[in-house]
Structures are given as structure tokens and as C-alpha cells.
Amino acid sequence: MDNPVIVAIDGPSGTGKSSTSKAVAAKLGLSYLDTGAQYRAITWWMLNNGIDVNDPAAVADTAGKAVVVSGTDPLDPQISVDGVDVTMPIRSQEVTAAVSAVSAVPEVRSRMVEYQRAAAASAAAGIVVEGRDIGTTVLPDATAKIFLTASAAVRAARRSTELNGTVSVAATQEALTRRDAADSGRKTSPLAMAADAVEVDTSELTLDQVVDRVVALVEQKLATVR
Ligand SMILES: Nc1ncnc2c1ncn2[C@@H]1O[C@H](COP(=O)(O)OP(=O)(O)O)[C@@H](O)[C@H]1O
Ligand SMILES: Nc1ccn([C@@H]2O[C@H](COP(=O)(O)OP(=O)(O)O)[C@@H](O)[C@H]2O)c(=O)n1
């Protein structure tokens, strides 16, 4: 039997990682893992349990307590913490504002990376894993590594539309740029493009075009390894 296909899709917020990863996984018959959702889930748990998310020692002390379970179906991705379905609440502004501080704590990362590697190891046909450090740190031997980019203005416009214009494009762009800086500047496995990743700038592409390009890149890689 062929080896499982591992596709790593990294990049900053709003570049299209989730939309692209789900579509690519569905097209290629692979599982799907949203690692950003896992960091959001543990952040939700910290906020819900009154942990000061700006106190790295408090976050580190409690990082092992939350049990995060991620679904890997690209058509119905779900996530729970301690048995509570948090698929919707992890998208709140409160969680979005706190997640970079929580995800910078090494104890949080090592626990999430364990979950992520276990999910990849148990995906029979293979998996598309999206995040910030998948190609560099979590799955450095991935079959194909993609790094999605887009201008900050385009990313902010996409996010603002998603929020039905309830938050202005300018405020969205400021928050997004702040989170990029925190994610790129942290010590432990920052947001970065792997040396062997292929960059796809999605600013001027439709989602379908991005998906086709990523599927073609994966197929090219498979043709060379199989
Ligand atoms: N190529 C694209 N063109 C236009 N809109 C897009 C494109 N890719 C994604 N989107 C939209 O932009 C928003 C952010 O996409 P998402 O996949 O959640 O990005 P990320 O996971 O990188 O944060 C979503 O509303 C999505 O529908
Ligand atoms: N592999 C990953 C994925 C996400 N994250 C963190 O989780 C946050 C939320 O990730 P996300 O993918 O849900 O963010 P969006 O792109 O949806 O805005 C990021 O801003 C990072 O702080 C990370 O540190 N490492």
C-alpha cells in the first residue's frame, strides 16, 4: 500500500488555510486537522476556567489539564474540550484576542504537537494539517508543504466580510497584524515558512484557483515519491 499522504498548509490569518485545506482534503480523500482550532480550544478553556492568559506560568501550570479532542472529517470539522463542543465559541473575538499569548507557552505547544502528530499517524490514507508551524516543526517530513500568503488589506477585508462588517476593515487589519507579529516573534516554533515549502500568494486568486494549485502541487510531489 502507498504511504499516507501528509500535506502541511501554513500561513498567517485570513490567507485561506482552512477553506483550502478542507477542500483539498475532501478532493483527495484525506483527513483534515485544524491546529489553530486546537490552540483556540485550549484558550477558550483557560478563559472559561478563570486562568490569567497573560501569565505564562499560570498557563503552563494548567496546560495539561484540558482534554482537547479534534474531529478530522473535512466536511464536518468539530472540536471539544473536556467533552464540551466548542466548535462555535472558539471563534469569538475574546478567544481570538487571547490565543497568541496562550499558544506562545511551550507547555501548551508540546501538548498540542502530541495531539497533532498522533492525528497524522492514525490517518489511514493521509491528512491535510493546517497551522503556523506544521512544515517547520510538527511534520517536517510532510509529503507536500504549502505556505499561503496574501496582503494584509486583502486578509482584513476577507475577515471583516466574514464578521458581516460588524468590525471595520481597519480594526480587523490592526488586530490581524498584531497577531501576525506575536505569532512570528515568539521563541517556540514561530509562524514561518519551511525552506522546502512552496509559497502561494492568494491575494488575487479565487478559492477554486488556490485549491487547484495546491492539489496540483500535491500530485506533483506524489509523482516524484511514488
Ligand atoms: N482565495 C480566496 N478568495 C476570496 N476569499 C477567500 C479566499 N480564500 C478564503 N477566503 C475567505 O476568506 C476568509 C478567511 O479564510 P480562511 O480559510 O478561514 O483563512 P485562514 O484559515 O487562513 O484564516 C473566509 O471567509 C473565506 O471564505
Ligand atoms: N500551528 C499553529 C496554529 C495556530 N496557532 C495559534 O493559534 C492562533 C489561531 O489560529 P487560527 O488558524 O485559528 O487563526 P485564523 O487564521 O483562523 O485567524 C494563531 O494566531 C496562533 O497564535 C499556532 O500557534 N500554531
Q: Is 93 exposed, middle or buried (0-12, 13-18, 19+ CB in 10 A)?
A: exposed
In the chain, domain spans = 5-221
Residue-level pLDDT at 225: 79
Atom 27 (ligand 1) nearest CA: 19
| Nearest-atom index, ligand 1, CA of 36 | 21
Residue-level pLDDT at 162: 86
Bind-site residues for ATP:
11-19
**Pairing assessment for the beta strands 84-85 and 79-81 based on DSSP bridges:** antiparallel
172 lines ligand 1 (CB under 6 A): no
- Sequence letter at residue 97: A
Residue-level pLDDT at 168: 86
Residue-level pLDDT at 1: 54
Residue-level pLDDT at 166: 81
Q: Is 191 exposed, middle or buried (0-12, 13-18, 19+ CB in 10 A)?
A: buried
pLDDT beneath 70, residues of the chain: 1, 226
Evaluate the CA torsion angle 187, 188, 191, 196 in order and state its sign. Answer: positive
CATH class label, 5-221? alpha beta
List, in sequence order, every residue forming a beta bridge with 85; answer none if it has no partner: 80
Report the residue among 21, 35, 129, 180 best suited for mutation to probe ligand 2: largest number of ligand atoms under 8 A from its CB: 35
- For 70, the 3-state DSSP assignment is strand
pLDDT tens digits for range 141-153: 999 999 999 999 9
Q: How far is the CA of 127 from the centre of ligand 1 (A)?
A: 20
- Taking the CA of 95 as reference, the closest ligand is 2
